[in-house]
Amino acid sequence: MPTIDLRTSALRDLNRALHALAPDTNETRWIVENPDGRHAVAVGLDAAVSVEIDGHVGYYCAGMNKQASVVVNGNAGVGVAENMISGFVHVRGDASQAAGATAHGGMLLIDGNAGARCGISMKGVDILVKGSIGHMSAFMAQAGTLTVLGDAGEALGDSLYEARLYVRGSVTSLGADCIEKAMRDEHRAQLFARLEAAGLAGEVDAGEFRRYGSARSLYHFHVDNAGAY
């Protein structure tokens, strides 16, 4: 179990070592100490390994993640798990804006709150936030799910495509082309699966959530909608 102290080791050396791991490596659990808000910690991973980071991280932690499990025992800066392809990223504190931006797959779990533009342009990732999210979250979200146990800020789901948004608390306002939709059995099953993956199935009632999605009125240009583009 390699342990890397970023006060005595270079961040570039850590990422280089993680990138060089062979598919059959037996170094499957890594501990990173004293990140002290450094940017791009554990980015671009492509191996089925676990990386636990003890402390706060800066921008783009676990960006472009593939296969790996990355746990942050602290807060995360802008763009945590940005463009993630697969794997699991867990922030045990708060996350700044653009958490999970453009992510294609995997799961991002945030124990605290997430800032503005959470899940912006998400393309298949499942994001679950135990706290609240900021304004313009799920802007242009194309696929995947965003589940929020707390409240959502202004313009939720603006210009949304086919992502599904589940919010337990209040929503300040909905963005262009985002509407509340009926919660059918398939959606309850999907929501329950997300809560179960986050270890919350026994603690949170899926019936307390409302679902939001695209009205599909902006899919094609129409002159009557010009003011909304």
Going across the sheet that includes 29-33, the strands are 3-5, 29-33, 50-54, 69-72, 88-91, 107-110, 123-129, 143-148, 164-167, 210-214, 178-181
Strand boundaries in the chain, DSSP class E: 3-5, 29-33, 50-54, 69-72, 88-91, 107-110, 123-129, 143-148, 164-167, 178-181, 210-214
Contact of 116 with 135, CB cutoff 8 Å: yes
Q: In the chain, which residues have pLDDT < 70? A: 220-221, 225-226, 228-229
Over residues 121-155, the pLDDT tens digits come to 999 999 999 999 999 999 999 999 999 999 999 99
CA atoms within 13 A on the CB side of 184: 4
pLDDT of residue 218: 78
Number of domains the chain is built from: 1
| Amino acid sitting at position 15 | N
pLDDT of residue 217: 85
> What's the rounded Cα separation, in Å, for the pair 116 and 98?
6
> What's the rounded Cα separation, in Å, for the pair 157 and 177?
8
User: The domain containing residue 48 runs over which residues?
Assistant: 3-228
pLDDT of residue 212: 98
> What CATH number does the domain containing 17 carry?
2.160.20.60
> What's the rounded Cα separation, in Å, for the pair 101 and 79?
6
pLDDT of residue 221: 67
- Is 129 exposed, middle or buried, given 0-12, 13-18 or 19+ CB atoms closer than 10 A? buried
pLDDT of residue 23: 87
| Amino acid sitting at position 59 | Y
